[in-house]
Amino acid sequence: AADAGGDDKDVVKNYFNSSGFERWRRIYGEADDVNSVQLDIRQGHAQTIDKVLSILKEGGSLEGVTVCDAGCGTGSLAIPLALEGAIVNASDISSAMVVEAEKKACEALSKAAPLTGKALKNPQFQTQDLESITGKYDTVACLDVLIHYPQDKAGAMISHLASLAQKRLILSFAPKTLYYSVLKRIGEFFPGPSKATRAYLHAEEEVEEALKKAGWLVRRREMTATKFYFSRLLEAVPLSSQ
Ligand code: SAM
């Protein structure tokens, strides 16, 4: 599948509707049905989510703040945001992911709602690719999705996300550094079945350049690295707001 040669997007969609769904549902879940590599990825990913939540909460309460979670997976970010009172629009190219995220959100919100004084709203979930997302949001977040975008498609993707965001854009991606490129080549990076899709690393300067072209400025950089999980996190704001 990795070298299907056709449309990368279809390969990615099929993967996340089948074996990829099963793999990532487990990784992003809480049950102990994971091996040590998957557990490491789960822990690394959880750190990314925590960083995003704390960045977003720094600005005060999230009640009523609109957030677009592009490529939401099983709702790891969308659900805690909704629990904070944010108005979340979450979408993913994989319908299996969206169904799982919706199920988890309903459970989490119905459990939490009676306990909080906040008016919680279930995220609005949709199966769609990132390019089809419309609307305007205070914040647009897109975590660990760029890994599925070749460099020549990344610029347009970033510019589309930027056009949806009004105050803040949060992007995370596997950084293309010499170190990670070598690891990837020798196959230590994304071990096992995740090799079913191509994994694209991205140079931070190129991501930043694409943001700049769209009128956005990187305000903060974070890095999460465990043994098998690497993710650079950028928070960008409109140049005009600086
Ligand atoms: N953002 C989620 C998180 O951090 O928990 C999920 C990350 S997962 C590694 C990548 C997700 O991106 C998958 O759920 C996949 O279906 C989705 N995805 C990949 N390409 C996409 C595209 N072109 N449009 C929308 N979603 C996409």
95 alpha carbon – ligand 1 mean position (Å): 11
Residue minimizing CA distance to atom 18 of ligand 1: 71
- Structure confidence at residue 122 (pLDDT): 96
User: Residue 188 above 60 pLDDT?
Assistant: no
* Residues 6 or more apart in contact with residue 213 via CB below 8 angstroms: 155, 159
Query: What domains are defined for the chain?
Result: 8-241 (3.40.50.150)
Which range among 61-75, 196-210, 228-242 has the greatest average pLDDT?
A: 61-75
- Structure confidence at residue 117 (pLDDT): 74
Nearest atom in ligand 1 to the alpha carbon of residue 128 is 25
Evaluate whether 109 touches 138 at the Cβ level (below 8 Å). no
User: Residue 190 above 60 pLDDT?
Assistant: no
Nearest atom in ligand 1 to the alpha carbon of residue 157 is 23
Strand order in the sheet with 87-92: 124-127, 87-92, 66-70, 137-143, 165-173, 230-238, 216-225
What percent of the chain lies above the pLDDT cut of 90? 78
93 alpha carbon – ligand 1 mean position (Å): 7
- Structure confidence at residue 22 (pLDDT): 95
ipTM over 0.95: yes
Better-predicted residue by pLDDT, 4 or 180: 180
User: Residue 235 above 70 pLDDT?
Assistant: yes
Tell me the average pLDDT of the chain.
Answer: 90
First to last CA, the chain: 45
115 alpha carbon – ligand 1 mean position (Å): 31
> Which pTM does this prediction carry?
0.93
- Structure confidence at residue 61 (pLDDT): 94
Q: How confident is the model at residue 5 (pLDDT cuts 50, 70, 90)?
A: very low
Q: Which two tokens stand for residue 135?
A: 């609307």
Nearest atom in ligand 1 to the alpha carbon of residue 74 is 5
